[in-house]
Amino acid sequence: MSSDIQTTQSYTYVNADSTRLLKDICSKLRRDEDIPAIFSGFPYFAYGTGIQLTVAQTLHLVRVVESVRLLLTELQRAAASGEYYLRSRLSALQIQEGFAKLPDDVVSHIFELACGWMDVKTPVLISSVSRRFRQLALRLPNLWTFISAHFQNHLQAQDFVTRSATQKLTVRATGVRSYFGSNYDLKRTLDMFSVSVASVSSRLVSLSIDVEIDNDSSVEFLTTISKSHSSLVLPQLEYLRIFFHDFAENTPGIHFCRNWAMPSLHSFDAGNFIPQFDTDVPERLLSFTIELGSDFDELQDEVWEYAAVVRLLRRMARLNSLSLSIRHQYFDPQLEVRSKALLPDLRDLQLDLGKPGPTSVANFFRYFNCEGVTSLRLDAMLKVDMRPPEAIVGLVSECRNTPNVTDLGITLRYCTYPDPQTQTARDQLENLSHSAFLQNVCNLHIDFPLEEFGYDCILDFAGKTREIRVENCTGQAGAILSRLTTRVNHGFKGGEAQSGSTMVIADPAAW
């Protein structure tokens, strides 16, 4: 029997790392191998640093990916030969007879693999197939640990709570427009919240609440929660997300969690409001994400009290990871704050500061002391008339307050300007290669997602280069970038080109 299958008293047969690896493989196939909707049920993120694998995991990944590719090729070949041929092949395998002979632990293993993370539909479908399937599914509490207002009413949520036994729970209570358009939806969500949050608060490890502040029902929803559940005790809660899809600073009830007791909370994501706490939650957070502002064409007239952001972060001295996203505005250099926010343990910093140019980065560092940062990601909008090479050098120079950065990522958005032929990717690299800030940088990543927000951008400005990665280059980043200027130009052919530990990824669609 595979080492991934375990027989324990908790009736859990799937090794979590193995299951996660399988999902990563499918995600990689979908992304890199152009496999369409067959894997669409698995999580997929278009941007991110990727999956860091050990050598053993990498070798295993290669073997399994190749096997899956061969499997898909065979299935496609069989399907292309016609329905009759495919049916005859399946009949020859005698799938039904073989499956009936599988032992319970193997079938349970298959069930847990089939029920992906945050899946409420598959467990119900499995338990409806046959008496045997239902008995096995009900013995697997791991199948019933995700509860979502998207697909469940409070009675269905109660079933999941019961079937999950003593397992830890993940809850997504959502009030977005597509599920929250009437008073009936309001009652349904409130009932579900009461069942899955208040009644099992001791077992919650993850809670996500998304609300659109665009109607009276939404405000009533928040007000009811703030009155009925103002003093929740969530002893095992590790992750909390509260996201409003509209400007919510002046909305009653948005601070419903300010008195919640959450001694295990280490990660908190906030959207379109600045959280307030009367407890010691901020002092214990290790990871904090705050996003103020929606898409670039919205919320331009809203005013955020950025001094409150500084005051809040000043309480988070234990933070290891901070992601700050601000759209349309930036930190005013005249903010009235008494002192900087000291973040001595901060190692991972991601900044999306909205306003174009290095000024926004400079203003940020006026109020935050985070010299220990080793991984820095800058997401920058550029002015229409701003030359990208100048922007890159300016952004990097303003990061001098983080001298220990070894991993640097820069994303440049909205890069259209009138004369695309005068600046190419060679200019980008040449200007950046002379920056003293790169001396300690080990991994450098620059990308240009020109089409991301639907602008009519000109690809030629970047020499048709879409992404630049330079890895394992401590003390040599500048020299490597300088050498790359001879390769990244209008004659460079798309796809991937590797030179030692350097990778240049060009946009094939631009050629």
Question: Are residues 394 and 358 in contact, defined by beta-carbon separation less than 8 angstroms?
Answer: yes
How far apart are alpha carbons 326 and 274 in whole angstroms?
A: 12
State the pTM of this model.
0.68
Classified as helix, coil or strand, 259 is coil
How far apart are alpha carbons 197 and 262 in whole angstroms?
A: 13
Token couple for 324: 């700050």
| Amino acid 383: pLDDT | 56
Compute, in degrees rounded to 10, the torsion defined by CA atoms 449, 450, 453, 454: -140
| Amino acid 83: pLDDT | 53
Token couple for 466: 């879409």
pLDDT, tens only, 352-375: 876 656 667 777 888 888 889 999
| Amino acid 502: pLDDT | 44
Question: Are residues 430 and 390 in contact, defined by beta-carbon separation less than 8 angstroms?
Answer: no
| Amino acid 339: pLDDT | 75
CA angle 390, 396, 401 (to 5 degrees): 145
Question: Are residues 243 and 175 in contact, defined by beta-carbon separation less than 8 angstroms?
Answer: no
Q: Which of 109, 173, 175 is nearest to 142 (CA)?
A: 109
| Amino acid 320: pLDDT | 95
| Amino acid 319: pLDDT | 94
pLDDT, tens only, 308-353: 888 899 999 999 999 988 865 656 656 666 778 889 999 999 988 7
Q: CA dist 78 to 33, 71, 74, 95, Å?
A: 19, 11, 6, 16
Q: Which long-range contacts link 20-28 to residues 24+ away (Cβ below 8 Å)?
A: 21/57, 21/60, 21/61, 21/64, 22/64, 22/113, 23/116, 23/117, 24/51, 24/61, 25/61, 25/64, 25/65, 25/68, 26/68, 28/61, 28/65
| Amino acid 299: pLDDT | 45
C-alpha torsion sign, points 133, 139, 140, 144: positive
pLDDT, tens only, 172-181: 666 544 444 4
Enumerate residue ranges in the chain where pLDDT < 50. 1-23, 25, 30-57, 78, 82, 85-86, 89-90, 176-184, 296-299, 415-424, 451-464, 489-503, 506-511
